[in-house]
């Protein structure tokens, strides 16, 4: 993966696009295994007009389960609220999918973009450490 800051998808090289989506595929495999997902929602907001809140290319990869949202597009509204971290989104998604008769009309907690506080470096490091453990347990995804 590139370490240079790239603001738009169109500015990636062909090799970087290939690396990015091979990584998305591998990451998706781990997320499905660890969160008992049945599918994935994969989203890339390319620029501020498309909803990009962080000024660099990044991809959201979210494990999905049947019934986690009544209307599949509601996941994008949830992403737009920009939950505090990806673990909260995955936990809600998994819990909602596992609950009998879970309703997508239930109000989901979250913050709107105006109130969102950036996560600290320590918070992001803790999340990365937790996810690193998952990837170490699933080394077979890279082949």
What SS3 state is found at 45? coil
* Cβ contacts of 6 within 8 Å, gap of 6 or more: 12, 16, 56, 57
Q: Specify whether 60 is catalytic.
A: no
Two structure tokens written together for 65: 């389960």
Element (H, E) at 40: strand 39-43
The answer to whether residues 68 and 102 touch, using CB atoms and an 8 Å cutoff, is: yes
The active-site residue out of 7, 58, 60, 138 is: 58
Residues annotated as catalytic are 58
């Amino acid at each position: 993966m590139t370490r240079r800051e790239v603001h738009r998808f169109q500015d990636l090289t062909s090799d970087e696009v290939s690396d990015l989506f091979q990584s998305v595929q591998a990451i998706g495999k781990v997320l499905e295994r660890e969160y008992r997902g049945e599918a994935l929602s994969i989203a890339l907001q390319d620029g501020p007009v498309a909803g990009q809140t962080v000024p660099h290319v990044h991809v959201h990869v979210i494990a999905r389960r049947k019934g986690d949202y009544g209307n599949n597009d509601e996941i994008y509204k949830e992403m737009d609220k920009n939950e505090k971290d990806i673990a909260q989104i995955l936990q809600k998604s998994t819990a909602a999918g596992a609950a009998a008769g879970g309703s997508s009309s239930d109000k989901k907690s979250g913050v709107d973009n105006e109130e969102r506080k950036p996560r600290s470096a320590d918070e992001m490091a803790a999340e990365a450490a937790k996810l690193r453990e998952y990837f170490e347990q699933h080394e077979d995804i890279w082949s």
